[in-house]
Structures are given as structure tokens and as C-alpha cells.
Amino acid sequence: MKMILLGPPAAGKGTQSAYLSEHYNIPAISTGSIIRRNISEGTELGKKAKSYIEAGKLVPDELIIDLVINRLAAEDCKDGFILDGFPRTLPQAEALDKNGINIDKVVEFNVPDEEIIERISGRRSCDSCGAIYHVISNPSKKGNLCEKCGGKLVQRADDTAKTVRSRLEVYHKETKPVSGYYKEKGNLVTVDGGRRSVEETSVAMWKALGVER
Ligand code: AMP
């Protein structure tokens, strides 16, 4: 199963990708997490990407496309993968085709902009395993610590009120056309993730995918 998750920031892609990864037993690959790791490790990619990510802009295609194509060639992707955060532009989607990577399903999560702005301010993630929480709708039972690994819960540097507006603008302009690209190919399913709990969104996602749970 080769899958893509589309949707605005904080639409639930990261959370649902963990469930999909467990169900299909394939890796969930988040380009945002890969870039953040490169920034914290101070790699060349990290140095080049930092200013873009902090401004809520997209990292240029030439920095991200080869990285993803190489990642998908790894042994753990032989039975499939879930891409969370890629492709975010039409050239990125075309790069998958050009490299013979045929996608089976594209799931798009739709959440209204006003709700995204509310969600972003409460989002927290574990600085150790990357698990995602929300202070109100999905709090950790261990307070400021991750339920799964005990790591510290932190707010992402780009989850600010100022940056989210730029990220939403970029989403509508650059990423929304990607869903039209897959709609035309006939492998797009949409899930309404607005005003829904994590569990309700999961139920809608499995239904859209035709998976009995
Ligand atoms: P995310 O964790 O998916 O919300 O991504 C955080 C940030 O990483 C984005 O706002 C972009 O700056 C950058 N990023 C992640 N994936 C991509 C991509 N496919 N193309 C360009 N920039 C990306």
C-alpha cells in the first residue's frame, strides 16, 4: 500500500498516519519530521531549510525531492509507505510519477482554516518519539510528558499564530492543486476532519478507505 496523506497543517495527518502505519505495517514518513531532525542535527540540509520552515514557507523542491525519492528506495518501504507532508507541490507529485512510484491511495483531510488556527496553538509533540498531542482535545495522561515514551512535550517552533497564516496561504496556493492532480487520476478519497475528535476522524478515514475495523 503506497499512500499519501494531504491536508492543511494540524489536520490530523501525523496522528492518523501512525494508525495507518500500524494497520498496514508500513512506515509513516513525515518530511516535516525529517527536516526538523536535520535542523536539530545541524546538517547541510538543516541549515538550508531552517529559514523556510521558520517563516512557514515551503522548503524548495530541489532540496526535498531527492531526499524523499531516496528514502522510498529503502528496504523498509518495499511493501509500501505512508507519506505525510509530501507531495506539497505539483512538481513534487510529478517527481513520484517520473521515478515510477505509483500511489495507490491519497487521503485528503479537510479542516476549515479557523479551526486550524485554533488547533495549532494547542498542539504539542514529544521531542523524543514525535507522538502528537493537543492540550485540550488530546492531552497526554502524563501531563507534560509523553504517554508512550516519557519524553518531554514541546511546541514546534513553527506552530505560532504568525507562522500558521503563512502556512495556510502556502497550503491553499501550492498544495491544494495536488489533490486535484490525484482526483483526476481517480485515487483520491476525502475525509472531513473538521470539528471531530481524533477517534471520529479515524472512523471516517477507515470508512473512506473501505477498511473494516
Ligand atoms: P509539517 O511537519 O508537515 O507541517 O512540515 C513543517 C514544515 O516543513 C513545512 O511548513 C515546510 O516548511 C517544511 N516541509 C515539510 N514537507 C515539505 C515538502 N514536501 N516540501 C516543502 N517543504 C516541506
Ligand 1 pocket, 7 CB below 6 A?
Answer: no
Q: What is the pLDDT of residue 213?
A: 83
167 is a catalytic site residue: yes
Q: What is the pLDDT of residue 98?
A: 98
182 φ, ψ to 5°? -80, -25
CA of 182 to the centre of ligand 1 (A): 19
Ligand 1 pocket, 15 CB below 6 A?
Answer: no
104 φ, ψ to 5°? -85, -45
Sheet holding 2-6, edge to edge: 28-30, 81-84, 2-6, 105-110, 188-192
Find the catalytic residue in 13, 105, 124, 196. 13
Q: What is the pLDDT of residue 1?
A: 96
Model pTM score: 0.92
Instruction: List per-residue pLDDT tens for the chain, 213 residues long.
Output: 999 999 999 999 999 999 999 999 999 999 999 999 999 999 999 999 999 999 999 999 999 999 999 999 999 999 999 999 999 999 999 999 999 999 999 999 999 999 999 999 999 999 999 899 999 888 999 999 999 999 999 998 899 888 999 999 999 999 999 999 999 999 999 999 998 999 999 999 999 999 998
Ligand 1 pocket, 59 CB below 6 A?
Answer: yes
CA of 55 to the centre of ligand 1 (A): 11
Q: What is the pLDDT of residue 2?
A: 98
How many other CB atoms are there within 10 angstroms of residue 17's CB atom?
23
Ligand 1 pocket, 26 CB below 6 A?
Answer: no
Measure the CA–CA gap between 65 and 32, rounded to whole angstroms.
13
Q: What is the pLDDT of residue 161?
A: 86
